[in-house]
Amino acid sequence: MSSESVYVPTNEDFVFAPNELTEDTEKEAVGGVKNEAVKKFMADRGSVAGMVILIILILMAVFVPVFSGHGYDEQDLDRTNLAPMIPALSSFGILDGSETLHNTGGYTVQNKYKELGITGECYPFGTDNLGRDLFSRCFMGLRVSLLIALAATAINLLIGMNYGVISGYFGGTADIIMQRIVDVIGSIPTLVIITLLLLVLKPGVGSIIIALMISGWIDMSLIARSEVLKVKELEYIQAARTMGATHTYIIFREIIPNITGKLITQIMLSIPSAVFLEAFLSFVGLGMPAGTCSLGTLLSDGFANALLHPYKLLPPAVIMIMLMIGCHLVAEGLKKTHSN
């Protein structure tokens, strides 16, 4: 009877096969996904139009107050209530500095540029009651409103994302308690919270940011929680747990990078909401103090002079409308990119 040879395992039998997915390959895969997302975004005309609008508004807010030739807070009482004038259009009878004033006896047409002998200078948006250039003031106001909105949105993102991720990831009793807190805060109207807070705090940029932060993080937390509930049961999360990955590693390396699409979309929707809320508070006298410059204060001043000098109300209103349109078009493009 022939003896059968017995196989004896060696150390080479327990060596892992080489990983064919190198770091460079992973980078190429991630880069390919990003490039595809950018292509989808750029293929949507509305998204591109919104991005162009936002870029133009941001550039104007940065450079106009510096290079306009008229300081946004420079007063000249000899040049109060000048109508808009653009030399390139004045030859066509458009924006030539003329203004129609309605009174009890009918109306009169005046051109204060000719009356005051102003030559070589123009005010594209006119001047206010103190002779300040509305062109530089409008874009300075846009700058202030954007800074407030961006700061409030960044803080809301930091609070809301962490709150929602923790609530959705750990679940159970912690999720129940955290969501009941959200329900209590969310049941109180945002405007009531902000109004009461601003009645206590000193008016200013910091007070408005704090007021916008009180309840602005709730929507961000709900979106983060819903996305975590979808992602945390997927195979790659389960594989990470099986390999012994810590909660911190799974949250910051596996979950958060895969829910950023929805959060970025929410950011683009939060910015115009914060700008509108700041404008509303300043319009009713609860936001920026008198004498400061923001879209809300400019709208308030323009509304007070709307019957006599309607040109004061139109520029800040148009700027705010364009900002809203730009942000919502970009947000819609991000939604389409994320959904596809």
CATH of the domain at 265: 1.10.3720.10
Q: What pTM was estimated for this model as a whole?
A: 0.81
Q: Are residues 96 and 238 in the same domain?
A: no
16 near 308, Cβ under 8 Å? no
Number of structural domains (the chain) is 2
In a shared domain, residues 176 and 292: yes
Structural domain boundaries, residue 290: 139-314+328-339
Per-residue pLDDT of the chain (340 residues; tens, 9 = 90+): 455 667 777 776 666 555 554 555 445 444 555 677 778 878 888 889 999 999 999 999 999 988 888 888 888 888 888 889 888 887 777 888 888 877 777 778 888 888 888 887 888 998 988 889 999 999 999 999 899 889 988 998 999 999 999 999 998 999 999 999 999 988 888 778 777 887 787 777 888 888 888 878 898 999 999 999 988 888 888 888 888 888 888 888 888 888 888 888 888 888 888 888 888 888 777 777 766 788 888 888 888 888 888 889 999 999 999 999 999 999 888 887 766 5
Q: Do 111 and 239 belong together in one domain? A: no
Task: Report phi then psi at 99, rounded to 5.
Answer: -145, 135
* Distance from the first to the final alpha carbon of the chain: 69
Residues 250, 157 within the same domain? yes
Question: Same structural domain for residues 154 and 214?
Answer: yes
| Same-domain status, 92 and 221 | no
In a domain, 67, yes or no: no
Q: Are residues 104 and 172 in the same domain?
A: no
In terms of domains, do 241 and 170 share one? yes
d(CA 91, CA 114): 14
Residues 289, 233 share a domain: yes
Domain-embedded: residue 290: yes
Domain identity same for 164 and 108: no
Residues 103, 207 within the same domain: no
CB contact at 8 A, 79 and 127:
yes
DSSP secondary structure of 223-248: HHHHHHHHHTTSHHHHHHHHTT--HH
> CB-side exposure of 110: number of CA atoms within 13 Å?
13
The answer to whether position 206 is within a domain reads yes
Q: Are 228 and 210 in contact (CB under 8 A)?
A: no
